[in-house]
Amino acid sequence: MTRVRGKITNRIRELRFQHGEMTQEQLARDVGVSRQTIIAIEQGRYCPSLESALRMARVFGLGVDQVFSLE
């Protein structure tokens, strides 16, 4: 059986601006990752670990499925 992989998208950039124009550096510090990691996740070049995804969702006060989605 062939497995079809979906693309994971996110609303991180939008959510940062809704939260007082939070910088990538601020979010990175709150999540415990580098700014470069936040950039890569925002651009869809990198999928965060489950722990990082949960931490990001917590920063925004949302569920993981409100920050990330699978197309």
Predicted confidence (pLDDT) at residue 53 exceeds the cutoff of 80: yes
DSSP state of 3: P
Predicted confidence (pLDDT) at residue 7 exceeds the cutoff of 90: no
Read off the pLDDT band of 71 (50, 70, 90). Answer: confident
Query: From the centroid of its chain, how far is CA 8?
Result: 10
Please report, as a single letter, which amino acid is at residue 62: L
Predicted confidence (pLDDT) at residue 4 exceeds the cutoff of 70: no
pLDDT digits (tens, 9 = 90+) for 12-40: 999 999 999 999 999 999 999 999 999 99
